[in-house]
Structure 1
Amino acid sequence: MTIQLPSEIVVERFLPTIRSMLAAELADRGFSQREIATRLGVSQAAVSQYLSGEQGGEERFVDDARTRATVERIADGFDAGTMDDYEALAELLELVWAFEDRGPICAIHEEEMPALAGMGCDLCVRGRDRAVQAERETLSNVRHAVRRLSNAPKVAAHVPNVGTNVAMALPEAEDETDVAAVPGRIHAMRGGLNVPSNPEFGASHHVATTLLAAADADPTVRGAVNLATSDHLLAAVPEGMEVVAFDAGYEDRRTRLDDRFADGVPRVAYHEGAFGIEPITYVFGTSAVDAVDRAIDLVDHAES
């Protein structure tokens, strides 16, 4: 992978496409190739290539209605004498800015630089934003954690019927929208795990609630994963690792968790279920990956 600036995409793909489209529009309005070349700041030979179709341009720009509208507006302005070069430049810059913000330029940039995937060009448009960086790192951590969990062969047997989830909170998280997890939860299927989609913020309720209580009590705790409570799993908790039980009821659960974590956050917290509530064990870590690694260790010991 190479580092590529969005300006390179503008110069190498956007600008030739715009020039080709403008050349065609101006030719349709009776402009000569020399006049078109003067307007576009290119050679007459380049205009000839544009008009012959030798440089068709990037389809994502050509097919975008905003591109067509801008090109037609500029061509009409040049033809009527109501738009000068400065105004045409302003029109094109507005189009570039729109395309860099979750538009075609952004899409092409993400293809050229996979490290930008999912960022919506926030880096390019808004600069280095620490909050955005934290969100990106959190989502990346959850994705890695989910892959580790999916590749652990013994985990499926310990997934609750309601599904499991892997979650990680942002620093100083305040509510569920600050916690990244897998929408729809992860379910056991044919001896493996089915992960329905990539992690998103606000995708979890129960795991997020438990994690937020832990993070409030101890800010170093930012990751959690839930498994089905069983005697084998609890017996696999290493000696010296604190385990805390709590009531399974949903009513006032956050308040009760705050009370249980007041003297410190354990690495494992569980409940034994209730009417309509499946027994669940939560494993905490400093990150989603850390929590999943701890959970896999527990499962391996429980199965050995």
Structure 2
Amino acid sequence: MKFVEEIVVEEFLPTLRSMLAEDLRDRGLTQSEVAEALGISQSAVSKYAHGDVARRAEFTEDERVQDLVERVGEGLTEGGMSPVQALVEAEVLIRRLEDGDVLARLHEEAMPELAEYDGSFRVHDPESELRTTERVLSSLRRGLRRLENTSGFATLIPAVGSNLVVCTPDAADLDDVAGVPGRIFDVKGRATVPSEPEFGVSEHVATVLLSARRAGSDARAALNVRYDPDIVDRLADAGLSTVEFDGDRPTDEAVAAALGDAPGADVLYQTGGYGVEPIVYLLGPDAETVAERVGELV
């Protein structure tokens, strides 16, 4: 695991300080004055001056970095910029370079797992795609672990298999919903999760979740279990709101009709249709909550 801050410290800052030290020396500052201006030791300035610190061409050839060095060098030399302001200017550029730019690319080189985001992630943005998707996957993994450790859950898995899914806050289609590839199956009385969760791998349960959200539900997670009148009754007895929808109608249309007067329903179920297995869908704000509700049934 490599943090982008490590890239900044190990790659960017030595280059920037070396460039600044050179600029300040060219402007007539002594080694001692350069050290004071940059808040580093004189020995560090000496290393920069003698080329003992490697520079990354990605930064030395970047016009934005060159512009920053010139502005900070001039400001510190002529007194038009305080060290704090110089720090702020550098921080602003660093954040810019982390936002799908050169620092993001170097971070991707250090962590190839980030390649799927095409350098578009913003590490420090709490609403970035990277953080959003990882939160969804993290919630899903916790929910799956809970299901795997719930004794008796395997008895609730329908013939088509179960799936636990979680969507992003602004989910629009199936690619915004994460689930288990291949679904969860009962293997010799044990719920088995065949592989790591991914986005865009669930059509059946994800479609129900998205339909519920379009009908006004604020649910972010869903799980399907086998249908039985007793299961529905037990969920209702646990204080959950249950609503039936028509399994013969298109999912989006049927769910919208069922939730018309009850958008906050916790449970959707259909008793079957032509070629359609009867199923119960548990909805919730996250995967852990949905998995916890299974405890009411075993």
TM-score tier by shorter-chain length is 0.5 to 0.7
User: Paired residue for 1:128, among 125, 132, 138?
Assistant: 125
Deviation per CA, 1:157-202, whole angstroms, max 9, x where unpaired?
Answer: 1101211011112223221122121121111112212212222221
Deviation per CA, 1:243-273, whole angstroms, max 9, x where unpaired?
Answer: 2122223x52211211111112321111122
- 8 Å Cα contact 1:167-1:225 kept in structure 2: yes
SS in 2 for 1:238: helix
Deviation at 1:7, TM superposition (A): 1.9
Structure 1 distance, partners of 2:52, 2:119, is: 30
Structure 2 distance, partners of 1:246, 1:87, is: 58
Who is 1:259 aligned against? 257
Structure 2 distance, partners of 1:9, 1:286, is: 39
Structure 2 distance, partners of 1:140, 1:207, is: 19
Deviation per CA, 1:110-161, whole angstroms, max 9, x where unpaired?
Answer: 8xxxxx9x988766x6642514222221111111111111110110011012
Who is 1:72 aligned against? none
Who is 2:267 aligned against? 268
Who is 2:286 aligned against? 287
Deviation per CA, 1:266-294, whole angstroms, max 9, x where unpaired?
Answer: 21111122343221110111112111211
Structure 1 distance, partners of 2:58, 2:153, is: 62
Who is 1:221 aligned against? 219
Give TM-score, length-normalised by structure 1.
0.61
RMSD: 4.0
Query: Gapped runs of 5+ residues in structure 1?
Result: 16-39, 44-84, 111-115
User: Paired residue for 1:102, among 80, 94, 108?
Assistant: 108
SS in 1 for 2:125: coil
SS in 2 for 1:180: strand
- 8 Å Cα contact 1:149-1:292 kept in structure 2: yes
- 8 Å Cα contact 2:181-2:197 kept in structure 1: yes
Structure 1 distance, partners of 2:158, 2:191, is: 12
Structure 2 distance, partners of 1:255, 1:145, is: 29
Distance change (3 Å), C-alpha of 1:137 and 1:87: closer
Who is 1:247 aligned against? 246
Who is 1:176 aligned against? 174
Structure 1 distance, partners of 2:284, 2:245, is: 18
Distance change (3 Å), C-alpha of 1:285 and 1:134: same
Report how many aligned residue pairs link the two structures. Answer: 226
Structure 1 distance, partners of 2:132, 2:105, is: 25
Give TM-score, length-normalised by structure 2.
0.62
- 8 Å Cα contact 1:213-1:261 kept in structure 2: no
Structure 2 distance, partners of 1:244, 1:188, is: 27
**Which letter does structure 2 place at the counterpart of 1:206?**
H
Who is 2:186 aligned against? 188
**What aligned pairs does 1:75-94 form with structure 2 within 5 A after superposition?**
90=61
**What aligned pairs does 1:21-100 form with structure 2 within 5 A after superposition?**
41-42=51-52, 90=61, 100=106
SS in 2 for 1:257: helix
- 8 Å Cα contact 1:172-1:219 kept in structure 2: no
Who is 1:53 aligned against? none
**Which letter does structure 1 place at the counterpart of 2:111?**
C
Structure 1 distance, partners of 2:214, 2:199, is: 18
Deviation per CA, 1:196-250, whole angstroms, max 9, x where unpaired?
Answer: 222222121121111112222335311110001123322322335322122223x
Who is 1:74 aligned against? none
Distance change (3 Å), C-alpha of 1:286 and 1:98: closer
Structure 2 distance, partners of 1:194, 1:100, is: 38
Distance change (3 Å), C-alpha of 1:98 and 1:292: closer
Determine what percentage of the aligned residue pairs are the same residue.
30
Distance change (3 Å), C-alpha of 1:219 and 1:233: closer
